[in-house]
């Protein structure tokens, strides 16, 4: 007899003690989550991640010494199977771009309410990538930053490359449009009347063909091409 859904094990990383403890108290009231650890800086976060191997890390960007974005590589090395969800006050598209490039699964602002945060954590664990609604308008700017279009004056322009979107099949392009609108795999499956597992396979193919690591990066690329 199978049990209920697994509890999502969380590590909370934030240098503001009051906010961190409040967030832990909020998440601990939800039976879907178990906060297994906390950290106030990048070094402590890496040690705790290696020790605990959490399912997901909630990571602030403004940490003492090393930023959360700069800490991402070390966290992923310490806990390879762990997803990282940025939770920050920064609305700067450069921070968004840096987080996505470093492998964050999503980018949320600290203005997010508890219910939306819980949904974002669950979506991230299902393999979706989430971005705060306030940041969606900055995705194209983030995409430009990811592709070096903000290079210093005088720097040589990047070499033109074939449009990877053109390599997608009609079905993959259709699914990419849904991804660009922020739809989850379940919502895409319902809209297209196909199995959710089929959507997951298509999404894997889409990410590989586009040469990106996450759904957010795929959505940014789609938005820049006028899809969605």
Distances (CA, A) of 100 to 192, 211, 222: 28, 13, 15
Beta bridge partners of 58: 12, 85
Residue 208 near residue 175, CB atoms below 8 Å: no
Distances (CA, A) of 181 to 61, 90, 128, 138: 26, 23, 12, 14
Dist. CA 69–CA 145, nearest whole Å: 15
DSSP symbol at 156: P
Count Cβ atoms below 10 Å from residue 87 Cβ, excluding itself. Answer: 25
One digit per residue, the tens of pLDDT, for the chain of length 228 reads: 445 568 999 999 999 999 999 999 999 999 999 999 999 999 999 999 999 999 999 999 989 888 898 999 899 999 999 999 999 998 888 888 888 888 898 899 999 989 999 999 999 998 887 888 778 767 666 666 656 554 444 444 444 455 778 888 889 889 998 888 878 888 899 999 998 889 988 888 888 888 877 787 788 778 777 776
Dist. CA 153–CA 168, nearest whole Å: 34
What does pTM read for this prediction?
0.68
Helices (H), the chain: 17-28, 42-52, 68-78, 93-101, 114-125, 133-136, 139-146, 170-180, 185-192, 196-210, 215-224
Structurally, at CATH architecture level, domain 162-224 sits in: Orthogonal Bundle (1.10)
Dist. CA 185–CA 196, nearest whole Å: 6
- β-bridge pairing 106-109 and 130-131: parallel
Instruction: For domain 8-141, give the CATH superfamily.
Output: Response regulator (3.40.50.2300)
Cα 225 to the chain's mean position, in Å?
A: 21
Domain ranges of the chain: 8-141, 162-224
């Amino acid at each position: 007899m199978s049990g209920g859904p697994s509890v999502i094990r969380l590590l909370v990383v934030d240098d503001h003690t009051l906010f961190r403890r409040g967030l832990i108290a909020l998440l601990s009231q939800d039976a879907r989550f178990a906060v297994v650890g906390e950290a106030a800086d990048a070094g402590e976060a890496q040690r705790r991640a290696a020790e605990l191997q959490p399912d997901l890390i909630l990571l602030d960007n403004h940490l003492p010494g090393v930023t959360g974005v700069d800490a991402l590589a070390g966290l992923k090395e310490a806990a390879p199977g762990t997803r990282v969800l940025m939770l920050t006050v920064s609305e700067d598209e450069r921070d968004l771009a840096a987080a996505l490039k470093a492998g964050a699964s999503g980018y949320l602002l600290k203005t997010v309410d508890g219910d939306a945060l819980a949904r974002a954590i669950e979506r991230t664990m299902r393999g979706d990538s989430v971005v705060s609604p306030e940041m969606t308008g900055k995705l194209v700017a983030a995409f430009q930053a990811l592709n070096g279009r903000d290079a210093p004056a005088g720097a040589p322009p990047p070499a033109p490359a074939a449009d990877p979107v053109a390599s997608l099949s009609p079905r993959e392009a259709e699914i990419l449009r849904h991804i660009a609108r922020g739809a989850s795999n379940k919502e895409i499956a319902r809209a297209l009347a196909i199995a959710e597992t089929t959507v997951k396979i298509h999404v894997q193919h889409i990410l590989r063909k586009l040469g990106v690591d996450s759904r957010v990066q795929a959505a940014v690329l789609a938005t820049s091409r006028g899809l969605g």
